[in-house]
Amino acid sequence: MPLDIVQALSELVKIPSEVYYVENKLVRKHYREAADAVARIAESNGLKVERIDLEGGEIPTLIITLPNPPKSKPSVAFVSHYDVVPAKGPWKIDGEEIDPYTPIVRDGKLYGRGAADDKSGIVASIAGLVDLKESGAELAYNPVVIVTGDEEVGGTGIRRLLESGARWDHVVIVDSGSEYVSVGASGVVEGWIKVKGRSGHAGYPHTASNAAENLVRVLGDLMEFKAVRGSKISRFPSPPGSPVPYVWGRFTINIVKLPPSEPEKHNRIPGEAWAGFDMRLLPEEDLEEAIRGLLSTISSIAMKHGVTLETTILGKQKGWYSKNQAFVQKVVTAASKARGGNIGIAAELGGNDGSFFDEYGMDVIAFGTIREGTNIHSEGEFVYLEDIEFFRKFMVEFLKA
């Protein structure tokens, strides 16, 4: 029988497999529970599951295959992840308050944290394998479904898997959109700007050096750097609906706060203040060169204002782009046939695990279940159930001989 996608996805969404940082410490929650649920879904539908413990057992990883995989065929890995960004409820859906981890279905949409990003990708990939198993069709490729964790915090799961020697001929990153075939993804740099000062009494500002005000001065000048980043344009097209036709550089300040060591009081001048930033690179842009440009700019701004600061790079990941055009065309053809209409190509504005496969010379594209507007990483996240059905049809079209 075909996999019941609503039942399977609901089971996964109920598990709050969150990952996040508390200061510089990584917190992983319910990873084992999520991996066990995925394995149970796959095995109960007649698929073979290999379990691998990565990062000292912190990141359980699954390799899911057909029970009798085709021999002497090129391998294709369909890559997804069970970790999700944290969610706080309640969410309000059509006037009804719901818990982010109590999935509901409304008008062909399944709501819940991870429903789109990326537990729908897990379910769609497994459903495609089940369909292939039951059809008995001759295959042109040997399909492998990979499910791991830490995608939301730098891709440690995939990096450790590849460091262990795992290799495939072709890779489809399922953590992606359903409206176009992605032939690249942006690089990502995240970190902190930590401005130092001297604390004091707010009634005596002349005796202190206000770190909060100094941070504001630094951030004001960084808006010029934001414009410089925005002027960098890729040769790869942006996703449909983007304000710029080709992928462009981006820089954002997303967090402004005092560190834990600084009491938050209106009558106290803080001695340290932090800003968290996110920089997005073009798919083809050199990662280290971009970081050098950022650090040089921040250093110049600090010197201009006589401010003491420290810049910490919390995470960095280079972008990637597809090198094998024949592989791209086969994916586009299969996707168009499954949809019954032409599918275009674009590059992702976000980053994904394709970077790590690309580093090892594997052919990579990204194509999945996450349609624009599905509120990923935000309140009211959902997936269109028809996009999961579409992906399972695409897998059959792409893999059959």
Residue 322's Cβ-count burial label (10 Å; 0-12, 13-18, 19+) is buried
Q: In a 3-state reduction of DSSP, which class is residue 185?
A: strand
Query: 103 and 87 in contact (C-beta within 8 Å)?
Result: no
Q: In which band, very low, low, confident or very high, does the pLDDT at 334 lie, cut at 50, 70 and 90?
A: very high
Dihedral of alpha carbons 140, 144, 145, 148, sign: negative
Nearest Cα residue to 141 out of 171, 174, 121, 120: 171
- Give per-residue pLDDT as tens, 147-203: 999 999 889 999 999 999 999 999 999 999 999 999 999 999 999 999 999 999 999
Query: 182 and 304 in contact (C-beta within 8 Å)?
Result: no
CA distances from 342 to 83, 179, 180, 283, 329 (A): 32, 10, 9, 24, 12
Backbone angles phi, psi at 297, to 5 degrees: -65, -45
**What is the model's pTM?**
0.87
Query: 49 and 37 in contact (C-beta within 8 Å)?
Result: no
CATH of domain 5-185+319-399: 3.40.630.10
Q: In a 3-state reduction of DSSP, which class is residue 306?
A: coil
d(CA 209, CA 249): 34
The stretch 1-5 carries a mean pLDDT of 92
Q: What count of Cα atoms within 13 Å lies in the side-chain half-sphere of residue 96?
A: 11
The stretch 285-303 carries a mean pLDDT of 98
CATH of domain 188-317: 3.30.70.360
pLDDT above 90 (res 58): yes
d(CA 382, CA 113): 8
- Give per-residue pLDDT as tens, 203-242: 999 999 999 999 999 999 999 999 999 999 999 999 988 9
Domain boundaries, the chain: 5-185+319-399, 188-317
Tokens standing for 165? 């020697």
pLDDT above 90 (res 23): no
